Amino acid sequence: MSPHAPSKARVPAVEGWFVPDDASAALLGGRCRGCGTYSFPRAPLACPNPACRSGPAEEVRLSRTGRVWSYTDAAYKPPPPYVASDPFEPFAIAAVELEEEKLVVLGQVVPGVSASELYVGCEMELVTATLYEDQTNVYLVWKWKPLDRPTSTPSGGRARR
């Protein structure tokens, strides 16, 4: 699918948290077999619903889109697994409520989008971004991208006020 064959394997930086397909990256969460409660990361042992006594949730792909529930500018270096650029550049963080599951998932917003451009209810989609690479692998994380944004214009001709 990729136009250039990558020599390194593209793997999630956090094993088992998402599927890093270029075209349809998706978070891997859990859905309780008993009551249907969703979890992210997947509840490995028991259902997060205290009224439910089901065992481990089944693994499911979560919605790739959602709406901004809260957002902020990160003016400090993020904790692992995120690797800060050097010199550190502030970025936006969004808590996005997934379209179907209504889970709130935190993530960095793609570069070039500042918190001042976000708003509660803003539609977002999941994309993958390179976190870092070593000799054999490219490690990927998910980021949130506003749906009304073109994919690859770091500094396009958008009007600014």
The residues binding Zn ion (CB under 5 A) are: 32, 34-35, 37, 47, 49, 52, 54
The distance of closest approach from Cβ of residue 50 to Zn ion in the complex, given in angstroms and rounded to an integer, is 9
The distance of closest approach from Cβ of residue 95 to Zn ion in the complex, given in angstroms and rounded to an integer, is 24
Nearest-angstrom CA–CA distance, 8 and 122: 35
The residue among 54 and 137 lying less far from Zn ion, judged by its C-beta, is 54
The residue among 8 and 53 lying less far from Zn ion, judged by its C-beta, is 53
The distance of closest approach from Cβ of residue 55 to Zn ion in the complex, given in angstroms and rounded to an integer, is 9
The residue among 50 and 79 lying less far from Zn ion, judged by its C-beta, is 50
The distance of closest approach from Cβ of residue 30 to Zn ion in the complex, given in angstroms and rounded to an integer, is 10
The residue among 43 and 92 lying less far from Zn ion, judged by its C-beta, is 43
